[in-house]
Amino acid sequence: MLTRKKNKWLIVSLVLTLAASLALAGCSGNNNKSNAESSPSTDGNNASPSASDSAPPAEPKGDPVEISLYYPGTPQKDVGLVEKEANKYLEEKLNAHLKIVAIDFGDWDNKLNLSISAGKEMDIVFTAAWQKYAVNVGKGAFIPLNDLVAEYGKDINLEPAFWEGSQINGKNYGVPTNKELAATRGVLFRKDLVEKYNIDISGVKTWADLEPILKTIKEKEPGITPWYISNQGNGGSNGILDNLDWDYLGDASVPGVIKKIGTDTKILNAVETPEFMDAAKLVRKFFKMGLINSDAATTNVKPNEKAKTGKVFLWTDGLKPGKAEEEAIQVGFPLAQIEFTKPTITTGDASGAMLAISKTSKHPELAMQIINLLHSDKYFNNLINYGIEGTHYVKTDKENIIDLPPGADPAKIGYKPGAQWELGNQYLNYLYKTEDPDKWKKFQEFNAAGIKSPGLGFTFDNTNVLNEIGAVTTVSTQYFTALSSGSVDPEAVIPKYLAALKDAGVDKIIKEKQEQFDKFLASKK
């Protein structure tokens, strides 16, 4: 009997001991599993837990989400190949796909306006001060990005002036391209023709000084347009009138300017100024001399696109270090540049190229993550800007320097958008071997030399004058391009232009702008 009882307790004891051992083993197994998952073992082999110990399988991600990117530029033949490569990368990174939509500059304004009016679903959209940024923000076309940048754009590293200069009522509706912050205005021209005819450009300091050079080209190269102007520019053209040294205070499409340099804070109607009349007379003179293309007021082919035909000598542009070499890659001819203004920093320059997120986007968080990659991921940035290595470019033996594939015809490269200044962070960009290897260092020096306009950081709130802005925009469409192209007599047309502007309510806009600007200046003291 005792023996039987003893055996019974022994069995119970063994069962309890075994149960405790199993419990301990289970705990130990869980700890080992946790350690194995958090960090690999020193010999490179992680423990493999049994099926009963493994965590439940991760939920499937589902199909990748497509994010669209709309920007003004020339549609590229090989965009599908680049999208395919981008999508492989984005699937792994974000479970996303990218749809790249380039729209010709000549159609951009109209197509964007129609898309906004129709409530078309879009995600990432290019915008800029000279592309009706403030007007479109006023329409509610873009969403504020401050919170999205804080959470999903942590790798975006911009100088504070970019954020300050692109705000509207304290909010950012676009992420500026990380590029030159300062800007100058001037011309690009074909270097080979200057050398061919031994033209001295050392004395060219003003727009008027271009006359003898343009006359030489007209005489020596009758098949080439000395100065090419189209109706695609800041104010509806790209002649002298929209390259005058004004600060447009955030949106070039809204009347009211100040001088960039100095302390004068009086807001002017640019069309009323002597500078506007003098520039209009000069371009009219050049037009009558046959130095400007006869279709300047009507053609929507941008100068750098027309220059690819070899039929253009000179055109205006916003300039920066290396601009001529950058554009030469696109047009296929060696270029040089002449600046007519000092480097300055305005709200318009800070917001001169940005990526916004449309209010119709269903995935704004994912859109911001892609903008973040354009600003921080070197591979992704250069893929979108330059295409596929080995197909659209090759790397040289120097770091970050690229070239066209051997034997490739520059005019037939299937992906060469030339939109680096629109898309992300230029400091990540590769450089072609024809560009200055110190380009990015010179960008920094250029920015440091920039003179800050008294209006830096001010952006006009157009809420109280939306009707007037619509009316003056219609008037400017009627008059500005014709004046800027030189195709009409400014002394006869400018008075009519001014009268029409006043009838449309330009004085009310100027008054409202001055009141807001005065408050802005007072708040900075």
Tens-place pLDDT, residues 302-344: 898 899 999 999 999 889 999 999 999 888 899 999 999 999 9
Cα 381 from Cα 419, distance rounded (Å): 11
Cα 467 from Cα 23, distance rounded (Å): 77
State the residue range of the domain holding 395: 65-179+350-440
Cα 87 from Cα 383, distance rounded (Å): 11
Cα 201 from Cα 313, distance rounded (Å): 14
- With a CB cutoff of 8 Å and minimum separation 6, the contacts of 423 are 69, 71, 177, 355, 374, 381, 384, 385
pLDDT of 266 over the 90 cut: yes
* pLDDT computed for residue 233 by the predictor: 61
Q: Quick one: 232 and 105 in the same domain?
A: no
Is 361 inside a domain boundary? yes
Average pLDDT for 197-206: 95
pLDDT of 19 over the 90 cut: no
Cα 314 from Cα 212, distance rounded (Å): 13
Q: Quick one: 200 and 226 in the same domain?
A: yes
Residue in 122, 183, 188, 81 with CA at minimum distance from that of residue 416: 81
264: DSSP letter: -
Q: Among residues 389, 405, 440, which one ends one of the domains?
A: 440
Is 356 inside a domain boundary? yes
Q: Quick one: 113 and 212 in the same domain?
A: no
Higher pLDDT, 9 or 147: 147
Number of Cα atoms under 13 Å in the Cβ half of residue 237: 28
The SS3 assignment for 342 reads coil
Q: 459 burial class (0-12, 13-18, 19+ CB within 10 angstroms)?
A: buried
Cα 95 from Cα 92, distance rounded (Å): 6
pLDDT of 248 over the 50 cut: yes
Q: Quick one: 168 and 315 in the same domain?
A: no
Cα 167 from Cα 353, distance rounded (Å): 13
Mean pLDDT of all residues in the chain? 87
Q: Quick one: 337 and 396 in the same domain?
A: no
Residue in 177, 173, 67 with CA at minimum distance from that of residue 122: 67
* pLDDT computed for residue 60 by the predictor: 54
Q: Quick one: 160 and 309 in the same domain?
A: no
Entry pTM: 0.74
Q: Quick one: 387 and 425 in the same domain?
A: yes
* pLDDT computed for residue 237 by the predictor: 63
Average pLDDT for 205-234: 93
- With a CB cutoff of 8 Å and minimum separation 6, the contacts of 452 are 161, 344, 345
Is 225 inside a domain boundary? yes
Higher pLDDT, 44 or 85: 85
Tens-place pLDDT, residues 401-459: 999 999 888 888 999 999 999 999 999 999 999 999 999 999 989 988 999 999 988 87
- With a CB cutoff of 8 Å and minimum separation 6, the contacts of 146 are 171, 172
CATH number (domain holding residue 134): 3.40.190.10
Q: For the chain, what is the domain count?
A: 2
Q: Quick one: 432 and 482 in the same domain?
A: no
Cα dist. 370→87, 93, 418, 422, 477 in Å? 11, 10, 20, 14, 36
Is 24 inside a domain boundary? no
Q: Among residues 407, 440, 473, which one ends one of the domains?
A: 440
The pLDDT-based confidence of 231 (bands split at 50, 70, 90) is: confident
Q: Quick one: 426 and 325 in the same domain?
A: no
Strands 225-227 and 312-319: parallel
pLDDT of 8 over the 80 cut: no
Is 263 inside a domain boundary? yes
pLDDT of 56 over the 80 cut: no
Tens-place pLDDT, residues 105-140: 889 989 999 999 999 999 999 999 888 888 899 899
* pLDDT computed for residue 236 by the predictor: 55
Cα 75 from Cα 91, distance rounded (Å): 24
Cα 405 from Cα 433, distance rounded (Å): 12
Give the percent of the chain with pLDDT over 90. 67
Q: Quick one: 286 and 223 in the same domain?
A: yes
Tokens of 98: 């990218």
Is 273 inside a domain boundary? yes
Q: Quick one: 295 and 372 in the same domain?
A: no
Is 131 inside a domain boundary? yes
Q: Quick one: 490 and 475 in the same domain?
A: yes
